[in-house]
Amino acid sequence: ARAYGRRMTRANDRAERGVAWRAPALVALVVGVLVVALFLVVDRRSSAPVADAPSPSLSGRPVVAFVGDSYSAGSEASSPDKRWTTVLSAERGWNEINAAVPGMGYDVGRPTQHYASQVARAAASKPGTVIISGGWNDVARGVPTATIVEGLRETPAAVTKHVPEARVVVIAPIGPASSPPPDLVRLRDAAAPVVRSSGATWLDLDFPLTGHREWISPDGLHPNDAGYKRLAELTNARLN
């Protein structure tokens, strides 16, 4: 009887130790399941559609979209906030929407990257003003003046189509630091009456980089920070 009692005592001890060992494991398993379940609930909530809320940074600030080429995109600027579009927007208290694509033009880049297509993308932001700047790429690639002028008709019309209430400003081709080629001058002269007849504002900066190599970056083509600042200053001064 005593031997049997000792065997039962040892069996009970082992059983108690087994329960004691399994209890924490069971608790950990339950906690783990709860954590996973909570994660799945939160993940589903975070991936559910959420209504767009107005960004605080846009409150009370006019939205202005910029369409153009590498000059408007800020190529060779030391940082995005040094490009002329951003400097101008900061000076005027605008919210900048920059849709410019380097290398593009009124005709160059058809059908997905030229200026009229940039307007279509920028229209989603509902800008109150659209500023279009460029034309040098078209001239440099040999696009006939008449074809570029057709693009000058098309681009303001695209603004009117997508954002009927927006003001349209077209900046004359800026050109390089060297003397502007005759085709660029010819384009500027042909473009002015076309733009004005469309109801858009024509802004001629008079080839502002010409003769100022100190405003050109080491690549010999794009403005440096000082050049972009100068473009912003001239645009700000001449834009009513």
Q: What is the DSSP letter of 192?
A: H
With residue 63 as reference, give the H or E element that holds it: strand 63-68
| Phi, psi torsion values for 210, nearest 5 degrees | -60, 125
Residues 71-87: what's their mean pLDDT?
97
Tell me the pLDDT tens digit for each residue of 130-181. Answer: 999 999 999 999 999 999 999 999 999 999 999 999 999 999 999 888 889 9
- Give the sheet arrangement for strand 201-203, strand by strand: 95-98, 63-68, 129-133, 167-171, 201-203
Distance, in Å, from the CA atom of 41 to the CA atom of 47, rounded to the nearest integer, reads 10
Tell me the pLDDT tens digit for each residue of 175-202. Answer: 888 889 999 999 999 999 999 999 999 9
pLDDT at 27: 36
Least trusted range by pLDDT, from 46-60, 111-125, 172-186: 46-60
Distance, in Å, from the CA atom of 22 to the CA atom of 28, rounded to the nearest integer, reads 10
The string over 146-179, giving b where at least 16 C-beta atoms fall within 10 Å of a residue's C-beta and e elsewhere, is: eebbebbbbbbebbbebbeebbbbbbbbbbbbee
Strands 129-133 and 95-98: unpaired
Strands 95-98 and 63-68: parallel
Return all residues near 105 (Cβ < 8 A) that are at least 6 apart.
Answer: 69, 114, 115, 134, 135, 136, 137, 138, 141, 143, 148, 151
As a whole-number percent, the residues of the chain with pLDDT over 70 amount to 75
Is 93's pLDDT higher than 80? Answer: yes
